Structure 1
Amino acid sequence: MENFINLQHNIVYSCSDQNIMSTEHYFPEHALGIMLSGDAQYYTNEGTFVMKAGGICLMRRNHLFRKMKTLGENGDPIALISLFLDQKALHEYAREHHIFKQDAYQGLPMINLSGNVFLKAFFNSLTPYIDHPGKLSAKLAELKTSEAIELLLQTGGILNNFLFDFQEPHKIDLEAYMNHNYKFNIPVSSFAKLTGRSLSTFKRDFTRIFGTTPEKWLQHKRLEQAHYLISKKNQRPSEVYLEVGFENLSHFSFAFKKLFGQAPTKLAAQQW
């Protein structure tokens, strides 16, 4: 079971005692987080990022990723604190500090900041609020958010560009984007936003390009990839279903058999 505590509107503590957890989503705001215990692997189209206890990561908004979390070596729960740097706070910071418009950010969507002792101390200052969430007032959260921005900017490099590129997703090549990102199990409305479209425009453009609805195309595409991984790469159904964007094994097995006429376990057995 996973528990969430909203320490404030943009500061969240989460903790789970499940052995393995997998979630797929994108953040509409930048997220700065520390892994308090447990391990996490973040998979993106640009590569994999591993976080262990004490690891700190900055994640860029509007990027898709799959998160796989496991308990620590001693069975420690999966626990982390996340601080979301919303656009309103960043706009206000930029105005107060005379930071001008930035070019479009072209770097990695996840940046490893685990070695930053000042950010570690910053998160240490938030941990007492886990047991006393009512003590973290809106004013304190505002100050903490400004402190986090200041600490990030002190690291130098490309973070100025990372934080203050305020461009929203524009209308991009829908066919290329979907063929590149179909494995991510997010709502169709999120795909619409990430391709710079309203939901109605996304569905209309999608049907024109692919000749079917997004829901039907996504399931068929994911099942075709699963068939390839099982039949050609000798992967097991239990290894495949999350990778191709299904939430649970039973739904995956049912849909697979309906499309291909045999259960994925039977196909897998033929390969061994």
Structure 2
Amino acid sequence: MNTKANPKPKILYSCYYARSREGEHFIPEHVFSYQISGEMIASDSKNTYHTKAGDFRFSKRNHLAKFTKIPPEEGEFKTISLFLDQEILREVSKEYDFKATKKADTKAMITLAPNPLYKSFMESLISYLEIEQENNEALFNLKIKEAIHLLLKVNPELKDILFDFNEPGKIDIEAFMNKNFHFNVHLHRFAYLTGRSLATFKRDFQKTFQQTPGKWLLNKRLQEAYYLISQGNPPSEVYIGVGFEDLSHFSFSFKKKFGIVPSSLKEK
């Protein structure tokens, strides 16, 4: 992978030469993206989203989603993404008195209809991305604000998403975890999304499942993997899908629990 950006970028230009399913599955900030080439398939606990070359998408903060990045044949997967952080959005909200007036759609992603204003804006960013972002924070903040105003002009319905500054409220931990156990995120992400501190999350989790989160997640992911492999799915595809990062760790854990390696189960 070649990424021209800071470790914590505001604007990111990404190139992938091979199919990729890496990375944490939590979206911490709203993201406005342009798919230059290749395809991306994303999924949350309910929906699957398919983005092709030339498409624009809006990813909403505080969602869990998995991403598969697919470069074109003999080409590169390329995207430009702008991270619309809460600090800048609050500045815009205060300056222009923009406020959310109703609860927005709960989908993790929105495909935006093609628009020449979006395309010209994204194409104009490429030259900016050659600049070191750490020395040009003011410049990039201006481009983020420009993107926010552009989104409001072309898709005014996004106002209720962009300027909703509420944090996740306390929800049923059992239902949430059974839907989202396969997302590979740290426990503090699960805690935050269920409206709890990490300490409260661990305490409530123990009361609900009579197990620690780490032990429950491992067992749940392995049980799901066992089922999927027994249905003919290859272990090399299953392990990421159920929330493991590393194939060797998955194989070791699988054998420890079930007494056989994953490939043996598929051969049965």
TM-score scaled by length of structure 2: 0.92
1:219 paired to 2:218 = yes
What one-letter code is carried by the residue in structure 2 that aligns with 1:5? A
1:255 paired to 2:247 = no
* Identical-residue share of aligned pairs (%): 44
**Deviates further, 196-205 or 11-20:** 11-20
C-alpha deviations, 1:45-70, integer Å up to 9, x for none?
23111122222211000000001112
The one of 219, 241, 244 aligned to 1:243: 241
Residue 134 to residue 89, structure 1, CA distance change in 2 (3 Å): closer
Contact 2:99 2:160 in 1 (8 A): no
What one-letter code is carried by the residue in structure 2 that aligns with 1:13? Y
Residue 92 to residue 18, structure 1, CA distance change in 2 (3 Å): same
1:155 paired to 2:154 = yes
Residue 15 to residue 97, structure 1, CA distance change in 2 (3 Å): same
Paired position in structure 1 for 2:205 = 206
CA distance in 2 between counterparts of 1:200 and 1:128 reads: 45
What one-letter code is carried by the residue in structure 1 that aligns with 2:183? F
C-alpha deviations, 1:6-27, integer Å up to 9, x for none?
3985212222323433334212
CA distance in 1 between counterparts of 2:79 and 2:135 reads: 17
Residue 19 to residue 101, structure 1, CA distance change in 2 (3 Å): closer
1:67 paired to 2:67 = yes
Residue 7 to residue 180, structure 1, CA distance change in 2 (3 Å): closer
What one-letter code is carried by the residue in structure 1 that aligns with 2:47? G
Contact 1:253 1:264 in 2 (8 A): yes
C-alpha deviations, 1:85-111, integer Å up to 9, x for none?
111211221222222343332342211
Residue 224 to residue 11, structure 1, CA distance change in 2 (3 Å): same
What one-letter code is carried by the residue in structure 2 that aligns with 1:244? V
Contact 1:103 1:161 in 2 (8 A): yes
Paired position in structure 2 for 1:99 = 98
Paired position in structure 2 for 1:29 = 29
Residues paired across the two proteins, number: 268
Residue 8 to residue 185, structure 1, CA distance change in 2 (3 Å): closer
What one-letter code is carried by the residue in structure 2 that aligns with 1:165? D
Contact 2:41 2:68 in 1 (8 A): yes
| Alignment of structure 1 residues 21-170 onto 2, 5 Å | 21-73=21-73, 75-113=74-112, 115-133=114-132, 137-156=136-155, 158-170=157-169
CA distance in 1 between counterparts of 2:257 and 2:66 reads: 26
CA distance in 1 between counterparts of 2:113 and 2:105 reads: 22
Residue 216 to residue 134, structure 1, CA distance change in 2 (3 Å): closer
Q: Which runs of 5+ in 1 are unaligned?
A: none
Residue 154 to residue 190, structure 1, CA distance change in 2 (3 Å): same
Residue 20 to residue 141, structure 1, CA distance change in 2 (3 Å): closer
CA distance in 1 between counterparts of 2:48 and 2:240 reads: 16
Say which SS state the counterpart of residue 122 (structure 1) adopts.
helix
CA distance in 1 between counterparts of 2:23 and 2:77 reads: 13
Q: Which runs of 5+ in 2 are unaligned?
A: none
How far apart are residue 134 of structure 1 and its match? Answer: 5.8
What one-letter code is carried by the residue in structure 1 that aligns with 2:157? I
Instruction: Please give the root-mean-square deviation of Cα atoms over the aligned residues, in Å.
Output: 2.1
How far apart are residue 135 of structure 1 and its match? Answer: 10
CA distance in 1 between counterparts of 2:130 and 2:163 reads: 33
Paired position in structure 2 for 1:195 = 194
Say which SS state the counterpart of residue 21 (structure 1) adopts.
coil
How far apart are residue 114 of structure 1 and its match? Answer: 5.0
What one-letter code is carried by the residue in structure 2 that aligns with 1:162? I
CA distance in 1 between counterparts of 2:247 and 2:9 reads: 34
How far apart are residue 199 of structure 1 and its match? Answer: 1.1
Say which SS state the counterpart of residue 35 (structure 1) adopts.
strand
